[in-house]
Amino acid sequence: MKIAVAYEDGKIFQHFGHTKQFKVYDIADDKVQLTSTVNTDGSGHGALTGLLKENGVAILICGGIGDGAKRALSEAGIELYGGVSGNADQAVKDFLDGNLKYTPDVTCRHHGEHHGEGHSCDGQDEHGSHRAFVR
């Protein structure tokens, strides 16, 4: 099984559609066997989903994500764990241990707007308070 994490500087990148890299974890026997970093060349969410599928990814861990990307991932058969922040390696460890804290219905609905004061796509404000858009 392969798990991908939207990735930047060791942390989970907080806007799936703008992800420049994924860290991909090859998992066997519930343990990380190998990791690699995949560059996205600044592709949009449709191309990012295709890239993940081409690389055999079954699970994606990310911060914020829009509805279109969620649909594309679902159609590609990639399981989503969104609304996650912090260290990428720790998130994968937490997932494998059954302890990953995520927001099943996280939605980033402000495409075209800049992330400004009081907002980030991970469903938390700059102070860490939960602000996910749940439907």
Q: Is residue 111 pLDDT above 70, yes or no?
A: no
Q: What is the dihedral of CA 29, 37, 84, 87, to 10 degrees?
A: 90
Q: What average pLDDT does this structure show over 67-79?
A: 94
The tokens describing 22, both together, are: 């994924």
Q: What are the domain boundaries of the chain?
A: 2-97
Length of the chain: 135
User: Which has the higher per-residue pLDDT, 29 or 113?
Assistant: 29
| Calpha distance 37→22 (Å, rounded) | 6
Tokens of 10: 């060791």
Q: Which residues pair with 37 in a beta bridge?
A: 23
17-58 pLDDT per residue, tens: 899 999 999 999 999 999 999 999 866 777 899 999 999 999
pLDDT of residue 119: 41
CATH number for region 2-97? 3.30.420.130
Q: Which stretch of 32-41, 64-73, 99-108, 122-131 has the lowest confidence by average pLDDT?
A: 122-131
- Beta strand 31-39 with 2-8 is unpaired
Instruction: Find out whether 24 and 88 touch, Cβ atoms under 8 Å.
Output: no
